Structures are given as structure tokens and as C-alpha cells.
Chains A and B, each alone.
Chain A
Amino acid sequence: MSLAIVQTLSENSLPPSSVAEDWRAGGFGLYLHWPFCQAKCPYCDFNSHVAGDVDQVRWRAVLLSEIARVATETPDRVLNTVFFGGGTPSLMDPDLVAAILDAVRAAWPLANDLEVTLEANPTSVEAGRFRGYRDAGVNRVSMGIQALNDSDLRRLGRLHSVAEARNAFAIARNVFDRVSFDLIYARQHQTRAAWRTELREAMAMAADHLSLYQLTIEPGTAFGRLANAGRLDGLPDDDRAADMYADTQEICGAAGLPAYEISNHARPGAESRHNLIYWRGGDYAGIGPGAHGRLTLGGTRYATQTPLAPAAWLERVERAGSGELPRQVLAPFDQAQEYLMMALRLREGAQIDRWDKLSGSVDILQKINGLDGLNVLHCHAGTLALTDRGRPVLNAVLRELLAEV
């Protein structure tokens, strides 16, 4: 099927003609990381910290200085998207969000349809700030609802109830044009039937975008430690997890929210434009502790990174005028691999001519032949995409495609 996916590249001039301009096919976005949470969730391996009092004045100064620094390096670029991620950015003072977005508007020419997303926890306190965020310029929220079942919410370490989440979601729908929420499934002791029921309830909430993640036990998290100790029971095996993935595709597809990415579903046109920049191999600046970026400057693509610890990042910016650790040059071939790895997550797939240019014409079609008969990939009109069968085994497909290239 073909999807009418919004164009993010229109304002960034012409389609890419060379490796140096490859990023233009994906667009340009800004990611801001707010690392603080009220509590750390047992499954979360993101860079988040529990801190009581945050010096929002100091943070404002440092964030604004970083925006100015990145802007001088990327003059005249049209900014397509801004994303406040975390941590819990809905703990930010709306005034701080406003100051940041003012600075952003001053720093770059903006796309006409600039998308500004903020991740929010669905509590009543945070819902109370929604209007402030909207007035600051946020036009999309992504809510971490995670489950529609109170006992599972507690088990996932969430501080909200289902009732509170539904309430916050209703407020968000009133305040913002675009609202997405996250659910985590393949949870402990969750049956297929229970998930199908829960997912249908989610469909009824009329969001235009859903991120549906299978619970992944990451090392270094509380769940990871429990699993290592053999004390995390009731997790589905791979076969049941595969069934639940298939159920998810079926129910969301029928409800008009097909997957446009492995775990992301949207009504056509309501895809996360910011995240599409990642998956389409665009450029993005990462600001904040532990934020990653990909920037093509002077024909060279760089991977940028900052220190994980909030205090270390603040001090680095204040002392050195930049929060970044030394930049890594991404060779075109690394870029090619990243592009394939990310773009194959999308239903629209990867463009073979971009792969060819970045990889120096490593013959991907020959690799595809090795997967012949498995019905995991299809190649059509210059794009390479996973089939329904291939999507749940993407890592295995990538191992084949990128083996010995």
C-alpha cells in the first residue's frame, strides 16, 4: 500500500544530488532533552534523573546558549521540527518552553508547517500546563499513558491512574491539534485477549497517532536486574510476542491507524515529522545532556553527543561554550548503514539510489537475492521495504543485508 506521507524536505531546497547533501532528503530538526523525572520507571533506559529542585533559570541560560551555538553552525537552514523529549519535559515551566521557542524562531527560518512536539506525562498537574505550552508554540503532545489498566500501570512504575490519564488526554485533545500516546504491551502476565481488548479501547480514544512498544528488558534497568535474578516472570516468549505484534497490526490497520514504522501508527498525514527525520536520514541537532545529533557541515556528516550527567553538561556549556563531546566523523559508508537500519523501519522503506550513493555502490540487490524466497523484503520502484512478514524480524534481515558489506 502507498501512504501519503507529508513532505518535510520541500523548504530545504532541492532533492539531494550528492553524499554531502544527502541529509536534505530527510529534513532538519532540533531535539531538546529535559532529563528529569518525578520517578524512574523500571523499564526505562533513557537518560533520566530524579531531581527535586531544578534551577530553571540556569537551565534556560544554558539551553539558549546552545541553541545560539548550533544556529551559527547551521545558518539559513529551514527548521522543520522541534521535539522536547526526556525525561519528562512536561515538568518544564511553560515560560522556559516559551523562551526556548522564541530563541528557536529567532535562530532559524521556520518551515510553514513547523511541528513542535512535547512529551508529557498524563497527570492532572501536567495537564494544567498544556495551555501554557500551546501558547508558547507547542502544537503536538506525545503522552506516556503506557497502559489502560491500573494494576499494570503500577507494575510499570507509573505515577498516574487510567482515569487520570484519560482525563489528561481529553484536555490535550482540546488544547492541541495533534495528540499521540504511547502504550507498552507484551507486559508481564498479559494475555493476547487482554491486549486486543485494551488496544480496541485505545482506538476508541481517537488519537491521531499511537506509539505501541513491546516491552523490552534493557540491561541496567530495574526490570533488567530482576530478569537477571530470574524474578521477572510472566513475560511472553517470542512466539506469543510475535502473535501480539500481529494482533496490533490487524487492529490498528482496521481502525485506520496503520503502522508507518515498526512501532508507530498514524492516520495518514499525522505521522511524527520529527521522528521521520531520524528514519529518513535527515539532520538533527541534539541539545541537552546525553542528546545525540547528526549534522552535515561543510560536506562532512558528524555524529554529536553530550555528557549524560546533567551537571556535567551544564558545566561543560558554561565553561567551554559548547556541551558537545568531541564530534565523530561519519564516513559515507557508516551513513549508508545507518540509513538502511533506520529507513527499513518505515513502511515506505529505503531508497536504493541513496544507499548506492552513500555506500559507494555496494550491491544491496545481490544481498537481497540471498533472502530470496523468504518473503521478508520487497523491492519496487527504486525502494526497498520490508513485507508484513519481514517487519517483526527486521534485525535478522539487517544482519543479512549488512553482513560482510
Chain B
Amino acid sequence: MVASKFGDFTGLLDFLKEPAADAQEFFLLTGRALRNIVRTPHYGDDIILQMDTIGVGSLVVVVFVGFFAGVVMALQMSKALSTYGQVGRTGMLVAITLARELGPVLSALMMAGRNASGIASELGSMKVTEQIDAMRALGTDPIQKLVTPRVEAICIMLPPLTVIADFVGLFGGWLIAEFYLGLSARQYWSSAWQALDWKDVAEGLIKPFLFALVIALIGCFYGLRASGGTQGVGKATTNAMVASTLLIFILDVMVTKLFV
């Protein structure tokens, strides 16, 4: 009986070895990427290029998602509020849900879908074609050259993109409030404005910053460990997308708990 229990335990340990090693590798990459922010050389051109590719390139999709999230929230909340005769507070609920939750999470999910997978496939292709090895052979630290600029670029770009998504969402909510619910613009915007306090703004900015770290680091992590040709790159891309999405939700719960 004891032997059997011991056997089960070692089996569990073996099962956990690989995820533990993966987690260790991920945290080592994170540490090196963050340490490189203050170490030379700095690749300013790469940061700007990534800010343009990742940040500006994601603007359209983030605006679309923010707009439709605001529209849907206004429709859904007005329906619920009408039960209590409080349709006039639609702006308040749209503002709170967008600023605290939907703006950061939906923007991050769009960013993850577009960029965590994109980064993983780009770095994965470089890995399987030995370009990463060539970079090391030619005297460049791939983490400093490839990972740190992407981390910096996404961390700089996602918070303002989230703010844009929030405002576009509020605008979408206002369209519903004005033309469908018959609320005045003043009623909607004052309700929305009064609902928000600094805590909401802080939550709405801390979340995208943390999500940005996750998106960049997960994309780079899976890209840099890709192996096995194009199939391996495809697998890395999928894994990056799935892992970053899951981590965004887990982090969202943790940060929300801190603020609630």
C-alpha cells in the first residue's frame, strides 16, 4: 500500500517536471528581458519599429472591439436597468464596465490574438532557420535584440490603446443611449463621468500594462523554444495564443480582486 502510494507520488512528480521546467525557463527569460531594459546596448530603432508594427497596427481592431463592446454593453445594461426604472444610469454602467474590465481585457485579447501569435511565429521561424544562433554567433544577445524591444513596445502601446478603446466604447454606448434609448447626451456623459474615480482609472491602466508583459513575454517564450520546422512554428504560435489568453484572464481575476 505504501509502495503503491509512493509510486503514485513519483508519477505525479514526473508529470510535473516538464511544466516546472517550462515555468523556470519562462521566469528566466522574463528576468533577462527586464534586466536588459537598463543594460546596453539599447535598440531604440527596434522599439520604435515594434511600437509601429504592434501598437499602431492593432489600433483598428482595438477601436472596432471597443466600439462594439460599448454598444452591446449599453443595450444589455439598459435592458437590465429598465427593470428598476434606472435607464438613465446606462452611461454609468457602460463607463465602469469598460474602464475596469472590458476595455483592458478585450484590448489585451485582441493584442494577444494579433501579436502574441505573430511574435511567436516570427521568432519561431528565426529559431528553426538558425537565425537566432547566427545572431548569437555574430555577437548579439537575441533576448536584448528581439525580446526586450517587443516587451517595451507592447508595454508602451497597450495602455494608450486601452484608453482609446474605452473612449470609443463610451462613444458607442452614447450612440445607443441617444438614438435608441432616448437619453440626452448630457444625461449619458455626466452619468458616465461621475461613475469613474481614480481607482477605476488606476485599475484600467495597471491591467493593460500587466497584460502587455504577458503578451510579449509569452509570444517570445514560445517563439524562442520552437523546434521541428514549420510544424513546430505552428505549434508555438498556437501555444502562445492559448497561453497568453489564459494568463490574461487569470491576471485579470487577480488584479480585480486587489481593487474590489
A-B interaction: no
